[in-house]
Amino acid sequence: MSAGVGVDLENLWIRFGDFVAVRDANVHIKGGDFFSFLGPSGCGKTTILRAVSGFLDPSEGQVLIGGNDMKGIGPNKRPTALIFQNLALFPLMKVWENITFSMEIKGASAKERRKRADELLDMIALPGQGDKLPSELSGGQRQRVAIARALCAEPDVLLLDEPLSALDLKLRQHMRTELREIQQRVGITFIYITHDQGEALTMSDNIAVMRAGVIDQIGDGKTIYNDPSTAFAASFVGENNVFRGTVKQVQGDKALIATNRSGDLLARISTANQGKMKAGDDAMMFIRPEAFALAPAGTQGDHFVTATVTNEEFEGNSFNIFMEGEGGKEMKVSLPNLGQSFDSHKGQPMTLQYDVQNAVALPAGDLATE
Amino acid sequence: MPRFLKEFFDRNGLGIGSLMLGLVLFWTIGLIILPQLSMLDFSFRPNLPPPEIGGPKDVYTMENYKYLVFGPEGGSQDYNAVDLKVFYRTLVAAIFVTIFNLILCYPIAYYLAQTKGNHIRIFALMLIIPYWINEILRAFALRIIFGETGVLNNLLVAAGIFDTPFDFVRNDIALYAGLGYAYILLMIFPIYNVIESLDRNQIEAARDMGASWPMIHRRVVIPYAKPGISSGCTMVFMLSAGALAAPQILGGPSSLWFTQLIYQQFNDNSDWPQGAAYAVVLLVTCILLVLALMRVFKVNMGDIGK
Ligand SMILES: Nc1ncnc2c1ncn2[C@@H]1O[C@H](COP(=O)(O)OP(=O)(O)O)[C@@H](O)[C@H]1O
Ligand SMILES: [Mg+2]
């Protein structure tokens, strides 16, 4: 079964004058994938999308769609449809005209177009709204019209540039599910751009984590979250606690790290860095808030951390405990609510343990700044 | 007091408010409406020597208007063919100049509005600076270019495109060029203003869906630019139809502009009532024509102000 049209970026460089916006990107997106580019604002995500849709020529390297080199093929000739960050609906056209603009270009009759518009309006749950102007719809409805307009062109690849960023939180979460459903129904490749790791994790089959024009890691959500390959990916995706130090000893696939303030701690070396870390290297170790468990007070060892509790938050199903961390930053620990209380711990030291499999050792690198 | 007036005074205070209101009223009533009304009044009166003004012969009459249509009483022709023809030709030519101007200016305005960078400022400046030179000088400069021994003819003959110089003036090409050039800015800027506010992503979205450039302009840019296009066209048409200097200087010897007839009535014939009647006819016809076209192209009055 052929599952749609894939997209490949081969050694892709994009420069604006001296500024390198995309540096040697190599990405292989399978047909029918929901693929996300995840990275902070300004890291080059839109630039990549514009190169795929054909609005921008790569300075070097290739964009292949369905295995065909797209060099010299304009945006109007590519099997892609782009949903813009600001949607770019045509304000003077009615909703149904907006949706079927791609058919109008091909010369379809008004009757045909009307029929197709009604089908698509049903699909996006806006039946009977075709005669309105975009300005008469709510933000979420406009969002769906933009999706319908892009799908009407029957693209092989749908490109979405932070399409949910203008919506409020509730709607955004609802639209995540809806987008994912639409993608599974139409079965085409979605390339999705976002700076919101929650969006990327919930919707995507695969994610590329980007930092300042460079792709740090590509993998499915679980891999990116559990097995980051750079310090940036570890700190950008989800919450993470960082421990800085140097590698004291490599033990198979694990490293013992002499941390700056918590003694020697053991962590699993991330898959991408196996065999690349050696004693004496600057290293960082990451442990997620939920990977900690309470340990008997004062226990010492290579998977125990003791620190002073500065604050606590009760979240219903869990407690967030904030402890003295590194460099003025707090360490966050989430403990499930099992009926216990931590009230008396404020200002007191607390000892925690973790499973070495859940601690990731990485070469020292830039962290994401929030 | 109507609400908008009350708000106006609340915002500006009574003193400043009255002063501003007074100036605006003086401007519209004193300097525009009253003189026009007196012209209208003139146009319905006979042309009398000063002693007889206010006398028994000074009565309202349609005579001046009849003259434009039927010519002098007891004249040899049934209609005033000469003046009517000039009138008609002036309107047609003004429409032609407007269309020509639109075709020329729309791409320029689009380019200026959709391109970023410093060279755009220089481009705009180059469009504006020639307007520091007064209208008459600009018209004579065009004569130098288009004249029988002018720059253009010299070039064309030297390049072997024409064997003998082409009479651009007699063929009214110089006139149309002059009129077109005179109001270029009035066409470019309203269109530029509107297109500048058009979201570039809309153009890219249309392109992404496969639209060709003509299609993008027809369905996305032009509908959006319509208010600017109509205000530009209105101004250029009104001013072309009412132009005097360019036709005077650049018109061929046999082609009169209707404004020149008006001028002759006022100046050469000292027949103010007749001149006023001609001017009123021109003004009213132009306004009606513009209103009719606005209806055809579904433009609102409010859009013109954009
Ligand atoms: N046309 C351009 N000319 C110069 N620099 C640009 C251009 N487009 C984008 N950039 C720069 O490239 C970088 C990446 O931009 P972009 O791809 O829009 O980031 P984002 O990840 O937020 O979508 C930014 O630093 C931006 O300033
Ligand atoms: Mg962007």
With respect to residue B80, please indicate whether it lies within any of the assigned structural domains: yes
Which sign does the torsion angle of CA B217, B218, B219, B224 carry?
positive
pLDDT for B269 equals: 87
Asked if residue B190 lies in contact with residue B110, where contact means CB atoms within 8 angstroms, the answer is no
Asked if the model's pLDDT at residue B251 lies above 60, the reply is yes
CATH number, position B255: 1.10.3720.10
Instruction: Output phi, psi for B183, to 5 deg.
Output: -115, 15
Burial class (CB in 10 A: 0-12, 13-18, 19+), B61: middle
Mean pLDDT, range B248-275, rounded to an integer = 88
User: What chain A residue is nearest to B222 in terms of C-alpha separation?
Assistant: A92
Which pLDDT does position A250 carry in this prediction? Answer: 93
CATH code for residues A7-226 = 3.40.50.300
Number of domains in chain B: 1
Per-residue tokens: B217: 């302009």
Domain A239-363, architecture per CATH: Beta Barrel (2.40)
Which ligand is nearest to the Cα of residue A215, counting in written order?
1
Helix (H), strand (E), coil (C) string for chain A: CCCCCCEEEEEEEEEECCEEEEEEEEEEECCCCEEEEECCCCCCHHHHHHHHHCCCCCCEEEEEECCEECCCCCHHHCCEEEEECCECCCCCCCHHHHHCHHHHHCCCCHHHHHHHHHHHHHHCCCCCCCCCCHHHCCHHHHHHHHHHHHHHCCCCEEEEECCCCCCCHHHHHHHHHHHHHHHHHHCCEEEEEECCHHHHHHHCCEEEEEECCEEEEEECHHHHHHCCCCHHHHHHCCCCEEEEEEEEEEECCEEEEEECCCCEEEEEECHHHCCCCCCCCEEEEEECHHHEEECCCCCCCCCEEEEEEEEEEECCCEEEEEEECCCCCEEEEEEECCCCCCHHHCCCEEEEEECHHHEEEEECCCCCCC
Give the HSE-up count for residue A253: Cα atoms under 13 Å, Cβ half-sphere.
10
Q: Is residue B30 part of a domain?
A: no
pLDDT at A249: 92
pTM: 0.81
CA A299 to chain centre: 38
d(CA A183, CA B165): 70
- Residue B140, in any domain of the structure: yes
Mutate to test the interface with A, among B200, B208, B212 (most CBs of A within 10 A): B208
What is the location of CATH 2.40.50.100 in chain A? 239-363
Is A92–B209 a contact, with Cβ atoms under 8 angstroms apart? no
CA–CA separation, A321 and A312 (whole Å)? 4
Provide the domain limits for residue B51: 44-304
Give yes or no for a contact between A188 and A66, defined as CB atoms under 8 angstroms apart.
no
Give residue-wise pLDDT tens across range B191-232. 999 999 999 999 999 999 999 999 999 999 999 999 999 999
**pLDDT tens-digit profile of B280-301?**
999 999 999 999 988 888 888 8
Average pLDDT, chain B: 88
Taking the centre of ligand 2 as the mean of its atom positions, its distance from the CA of residue A213, in whole angstroms, is: 12
* Residue B18 domain flag: no
Residue B199 belongs to some domain of the structure: yes
Confidence at residue A210, expressed as pLDDT on a 0 to 100 scale: 96
Q: How far away, in angstroms, is A57 Cα from ligand 1 center?
A: 14
**How confident is the model at residue B305, as a pLDDT?**
62
Give the H/E segment covering residue B120: helix B118-128
* Tokens representing residue B96 in the block: 């032609």
| B215 domain residue, yes or no | yes
* Residue B35 resides in a domain: no
- Ligand nearest the Cα atom of residue A43: 1
Q: What is the ipTM of this complex?
A: 0.81
Tell me the percentage of chain B whose pLDDT exceeds 90: 43
Residue nearest to atom 20 of ligand 1 (CA): A42
Q: How many whole angstroms from A51 Cα to the centroid of ligand 1? A: 12
Q: How far is the CA of A48 from the centre of ligand 1 (A)?
A: 10
- A85 CB neighbours in chain B (<8 A) are 201
Asked whether residue B201 is domain-assigned, the answer is yes
Q: Whose CA is nearest to atom 18 of ligand 1?
A: A46
Tens-digit pLDDT profile for residues B152-193: 888 888 888 888 888 888 888 888 888 888 889 999 999 999
- Give the residue, out of A37, A38, A43, with the most ligand 1 atoms within 8 A of its beta carbon, to mutate for a pocket test: A43
Q: Indicate whether B303 pLDDT > 80.
A: no
Pocket of ligand 1 (CB under 6 A): A 16, 19, 21, 39, 41-47
pLDDT at A27: 97
Q: What is the mean pLDDT of residues B240-249?
A: 90
pLDDT at A282: 94
In this structure, how many other beta carbons lie within 10 angstroms of the beta carbon of residue B304? Answer: 18
**pLDDT string in tens for chain A (370-residue length):** 346 899 999 999 999 999 999 999 999 999 999 999 999 999 999 999 999 999 999 999 999 999 999 999 999 899 999 999 899 999 999 999 999 999 999 999 999 999 999 999 998 888 999 999 999 999 889 999 999 999 999 999 999 999 888 788 888 888 899 899 989 988 999 999 999 999 999 999 999 999 999 999 999 999 999 999 999 999 999 999 999 999 999 999 999 999 988 889 999 999 999 999 999 999 999 999 999 999 998 888 899 998 999 988 888 889 999 998 776 678 999 999 888 777 777 888 899 999 999 999 999 999 988 6
Interchain contact A56–B (C-beta under 8 A)? no
DSSP state of B252: -
